[in-house]
Structure 1
Amino acid sequence: MASLKTAAQKHIDELMKNGMSREDAAMQAAKTVLASTTAYPGVQSEDFIAAALAESSKIDFEAPTPQPAPTAPPKKKRTVADRLDEAVAARKQPELFPKGAEKGALTSIDTIAAKVAERKEIEKMDRIIGEMVQMKLSLSDVAPWDDDLRVIPNDWARSAVFTVRNKGVKRRAYDNELVYHYNKEVEIHYTGIELRADDDELVWQQILEYAKHSVIGVHVYFTLYQLLTDVGWPINGFYYKRALACINRLKATSFQISSPRHSRIKGLSLVKEFEIVPDANKRSICQIELSTHLVVLFANDHYSKVIWDRYRALSPTARRLFDWIVTHKAPYPLKLETFRLICGSESTRAKKWAEQTREACKELEAANLVQKAYVEKEAVHCVR
């Protein structure tokens, strides 16, 4: 410490010889010590400070203290929520999209925003269905129809969910395959055994009839005898087995549906649960539970009604033609090839398919379901 004091005093004396007052010389020496310890924090040895004092004459203490160059504030790390908010904002404000992006081209922001919107729609749909269950509403409350009628969702009527393939051809097994739909904006992916208009469609429509007055999501009960009678099938062992096979196929279904009308439905089964249970008289009773999400297919009047006794008597091709017709107030011409795709038919001969469609038109006229139906210029025409 003595050497530091000696060095400081020597430095002050030299400053005073140059005409500086003792007070100013002492102040400059102090500044030198401060500057050295500030510029080199942690290095405060007496020898170091003495050397700094010796060099103090080279320091202009009157000069303004240099300010460090301004640095940009650290960027705030964006969270997932921030990114999603940006995505939604970009959807609402197209000008926020990256410049140069092609019109109509999906950007990463657009994709994220679409997923956010879809998720919100799914949550909204689940919430509404939950409220309907709590209110103990029935399918008939959502889509009322008289007892002499049956119903079919419009998306089912305009798609190849129920096919008209030849009875002698083994049913296909689908593995998340895209089912043809007339509206390209509607996508239906199906996993399960092929469903046919000849039997599965009728059985499902009759099950909906049994369930229409029950609270959504609760069990409904009926006998196979009752089902065969209502569908119009003979009462014998063959048709008992056929009805059971239909119900089991309907239970083993899984549909993934994407539509602008209701966003996305995942894992929908046409029959959620099914088993045979005995009643008090030891008779076999069918116990069935339908998925609560089925109501979405019928919501907002997106379904059509058919006169049951006439409808069930139609051939599969005629029934599928009427499915499409009944969803339009004024049906416009339907190309034969489009109708073939709606039917899920594997017919490869255009002439044969045209003749089969003409026969279906005659059936509809004979059943008084349409005023007029005919094939002309490779299209089906109809007047309801």
Structure 2
Amino acid sequence: MSSLKKAAQKHIDELVKSGLSPEEAALQAAKSVYASVTAFPGVQSDEFLAAAMVESSKIDFDAPTPQLPGATSAGTPKKKRTVAEQLDQAVKERKQPELFGALEKGEKNPLDTIAAKVSELKEIERMDRIISDMTQMELSLFDIAPWDDDLRAIPNDWGRSAVFTTRNKGQKRAAYDNQLIYHYNKDVEIHYTGIELRADDDELVWQQILEYAKRSAIGVHVYFTLRQLLIDVGWHINPFYYRRAISCLNRLKATSFQISSPRHSRIKGLSLVKEFEIVTDENKRSICQVELSAHLVVLFANDHYSKVIWVKYRELSPTARRLFDWCVTHKSPYPLKLETFRLICGSESTRPKKWSEQTRAACKELEEAGLVKKTWVEKGFIHCTR
């Protein structure tokens, strides 16, 4: 990479000496790299080319070209038709055979691949600028996605995916390395690195942390005691649950999500808890200090989240909670296949009859809690009336 940069800079310097402006020289050098890579596939990745194009898109090419000291218009070198200009013409006319050779039927056009990556990088930059602006304005999550104090919020993408599983408590949690997490919508891809998160505890703790942080400026630390956390999630005050809460916080901190969605392009390296540590205040009390990632607001933006009644929601069994996650993220839930619901739960159940029984029990639980009007299983589908 360094040798390529040196060669490009040398080429730019030579072009500037010939009479081109630094901007024109940089553009031509970038196009030359593009042309050479097109001719010799594999020299650089699509990501590299896309990044170079994004950088070149920031240059004001309409600005007048400055004259070199002592140069006159009569003495300005006459520009020849360059390789870069030929490339421009070929791209404009979409002469793929000239550039790439005849493509096989159904084969993806390299131009389209690079254009898509350029678009993605620009969208990421736009999103970063928006989040930076929100941080400078000291906006809070509540400003983006307000909910009442007796409610909690869940991103719709989380309610429709297997981010939080319902696996048996006695089963060891899996360790994931860039694992593709099931999502109902095939256009949404969630890759996860970290220890398996479960609806039984991690989901509750995370939602409560969002509650603590919702009125604080994005990116600012929030503070709470473990005792308060246990009370708010409905757990007993004893050493077992203190340890359980700390384990949840550590797991949430050690998360890394790569999310690709038509709504917000791509989010990389998102952690549900950016920072967590236990500090001592002036009264020598142990206090939890937590910072959430600013990019979390993207999951809630444009009303793409749902609200749950906390005192009822936290008492649900894991399977019932995941079923309600699905139901609450749809205004009028349509029938859901039992097998699809199993995938949303991340369940490893291999007996369809047993899974059907578990789901029926979850349906009954939701009705008794008054969270839905009616929900039932019929002919392999889950039906729900909100």
* TM-score of the pair, normalised by structure 2: 0.76
Equivalent residue, structure 2, for 1:130: 132
| Matches for 1:146-225 after TM superposition, within 5 Å | 146-225=148-227
Q: What are the ranges of 5 or more consecutive residues in structure 2 without an aligned counterpart?
A: 1-78
For the residue of structure 2 that corresponds to 1:330, the secondary structure is coil
Q: What is the rounded CA distance, in whole Å, between the counterparts of 2:337 and 2:103 in structure 1?
A: 37
Q: How many Å apart are 1:78 and its aligned residue?
A: 2.1
For the residue of structure 1 that corresponds to 2:112, the secondary structure is helix
Counterpart of 2:84, as a letter, is R
Q: What is the rounded CA distance, in whole Å, between the counterparts of 2:275 and 2:181 in structure 1?
A: 24
Q: What is the rounded CA distance, in whole Å, between the counterparts of 2:381 and 2:82 in structure 1?
A: 62
Aligned residues: 304
Q: What is the rounded CA distance, in whole Å, between the counterparts of 2:363 and 2:224 in structure 1?
A: 35
Please say which structure displays the higher CA radius of gyration: 1
1:366 to 1:97, Cα distance in 2 relative to 1, 3 A: farther
Equivalent residue, structure 2, for 1:311: 313
Equivalent residue, structure 2, for 1:140: 142
Q: How many Å apart are 1:201 and its aligned residue?
A: 0.1
Q: 1:77 aligns with which of 73, 76, 83?
A: 83
Alignment of 1:117 onto 2:119: yes
1:273 to 1:97, Cα distance in 2 relative to 1, 3 A: farther
Equivalent residue, structure 2, for 1:252: 254
Q: How many Å apart are 1:97 and its aligned residue?
A: 7.2
Q: What is the rounded CA distance, in whole Å, between the counterparts of 1:362 and 1:205 in structure 2?
A: 24
1:102 to 1:372, Cα distance in 2 relative to 1, 3 A: farther
Q: How many Å apart are 1:77 and its aligned residue?
A: 2.7
Q: How many Å apart are 1:207 and its aligned residue?
A: 0.1
Runs of 4+ in 1 over 2 A off after TM superposition: 95-106
1:371 to 1:101, Cα distance in 2 relative to 1, 3 A: farther
Q: What is the rounded CA distance, in whole Å, between the counterparts of 1:290 and 1:262 in structure 2?
A: 19
Equivalent residue, structure 1, for 2:16: none
Percent of residue pairs bearing the same amino acid type: 77
Q: What are the ranges of 5 or more consecutive residues in structure 1 without an aligned counterpart?
A: 1-72
Equivalent residue, structure 2, for 1:27: none
Q: What is the rounded CA distance, in whole Å, between the counterparts of 2:106 and 2:303 in structure 1?
A: 32
Equivalent residue, structure 2, for 1:344: 346
Counterpart of 1:77, as a letter, is V
Q: How many Å apart are 1:280 and its aligned residue?
A: 1.1
Q: What is the rounded CA distance, in whole Å, between the counterparts of 2:224 and 2:134 in structure 1?
A: 24
* TM-score of the pair, normalised by structure 1: 0.76
Q: What is the rounded CA distance, in whole Å, between the counterparts of 1:75 and 1:251 in structure 2?
A: 56
Q: Could you say what the CA RMSD is over the residues aligned between the two structures, in angstroms?
A: 2.0
Q: What is the rounded CA distance, in whole Å, between the counterparts of 1:154 and 1:76 in structure 2?
A: 51
1:195 to 1:131, Cα distance in 2 relative to 1, 3 A: same
Q: How many Å apart are 1:76 and its aligned residue?
A: 1.1
Counterpart of 2:297, as a letter, is V
Residues 186-228 of structure 1 deviation map (CA, whole Å, 9 limit, x = unaligned): 0000000000000000000000000000000010000000000
